[in-house]
Structure 1
Amino acid sequence: MSTKTQLFIIAAMAENHVIGLNNSLPWHLPDEWAHFRKVTAGKAFIMGRKSFEAPDALHSEYRNVIITSNPPAQPGPRVEYAKDISGAIALLSGETDVFVLGGASIFQQMLPLADRMYLTIVHTQAAGDAYFPAFDPGDWELQRSEFHDTDNDHAYSFSMNLYVRKQRE
């Protein structure tokens, strides 16, 4: 019996939907980063090439599928390439849980397919050049939300949210 692959989006966005500036995160939030690492540990990742090459990118110790139209001749260890979303999903069809790490275009394409979203809201209006797509809150049930206030290590407050897609009709 085969198990359906679950697709989980994981992202941090400002209140104005900014997720990046110059291929980097526009904030430094150690507790949010630790949450990201804990939730994604041992899981397969799908991401776009620019997200994979970002200086602050986290790569899976397990499997990374990079969506690009121009893959290198020699992929690195634990790295596979796909030309599009359907190819990436096909490569990971035997996996139980797959995390989608972005960027903006990948999030836009994967949003209709995602089963869950681990979406951190950074409580600021950030300058940026990459944005998380708008989504219909009616399609999602907020199952958990954890607020983190500002402190010596966190210049911005943030809320780590878990959304689960409501049953599709």
Structure 2
Amino acid sequence: MTITLIAAAAENNALGKDNDLVWHLPDDFKRFKAITSGHYIIMGRKTFESFPKPLPNRTHIIITRQKEYQVPEGCLVVASIEEALRISPQEEEVFIIGGGEIYKQSIALADKIELTRVHTEIEADTFFPEIDLNHWKLLEEEYHPKDEKHQFDFTYLTYLKK
């Protein structure tokens, strides 16, 4: 199994505020969809609740401490990141999509990070963990300037565990 964290974070590692994203980057959404489609995605309950409905063509695993948490058909509920990984397909890439607490718990378990670095500092209440370059190697980097659809410059970064 390859465990990949996928996120968009500002220069100050800001992810979101009040259970919502703090920017609108359509190309990043398209990349997220292309990378995660057809795979298992693991997330915390608040991240799941931030979606209007489950994301198409993906198996959702929601981590929550709520014993009787109700989810739509096709979504799975577990109590821990370890349990989420146990029930994921062992021969596939699985994606951890947030939020901040789930990223923090899983970064040490991850093999890969797909990070969109948004070139701004923004006020937030949820943050991506610091990437320790002693443990991670930058494999790919692709810069995108801001334009009429994208309010900020951003760079796609792919890290592999050393």
TM category, shorter: over 0.9
CA contact (8 A) 1:44 1:60 kept: no
For 1:47, which of 43, 47, 60 is the aligned residue? 43
Would you say 1:99 and 2:95 are equivalent positions?
yes
- Number of equivalences: 162
Partner-residue secondary structure (3-state), 2:65? coil
Q: Distance in 2 between matches of 1:57 and 1:118?
A: 23
Unaligned runs of 5+ in 1: none
Q: Distance in 2 between matches of 1:39 and 1:147?
A: 18
Q: In the TM superposition, what whole-angstrom CA distance separates every residue of 1:47-85 from its partner, at most 9, and x where no partner exists?
A: 000000104686252311100011546531220111011
Read off the aligned partner of 1:145 and give its amino acid letter: E
CA 1:118–1:19: 2 relative to 1, 3 Å = same
Q: Which residue of 1 aligns with 2:105?
A: 109
Unaligned runs of 5+ in 2: none
CA contact (8 A) 2:69 2:77 kept: no
Q: Which residue of 2 aligns with 1:12?
A: 8
Map of 1:1-169 to 2, 5 A cutoff?
A: 5-55=1-51, 59=55, 61-72=57-68, 74-166=70-162
Q: Which range moved further: 49-58 or 32-41?
A: 49-58
Q: Distance in 2 between matches of 1:134 and 1:57?
A: 30
RMSD: 1.6
Q: Report runs of 4+ in structure 1 exceeding 2 Å deviation.
A: 55-62, 71-75
CA contact (8 A) 1:43 1:60 kept: no
Read off the aligned partner of 2:151 and give its amino acid letter: A
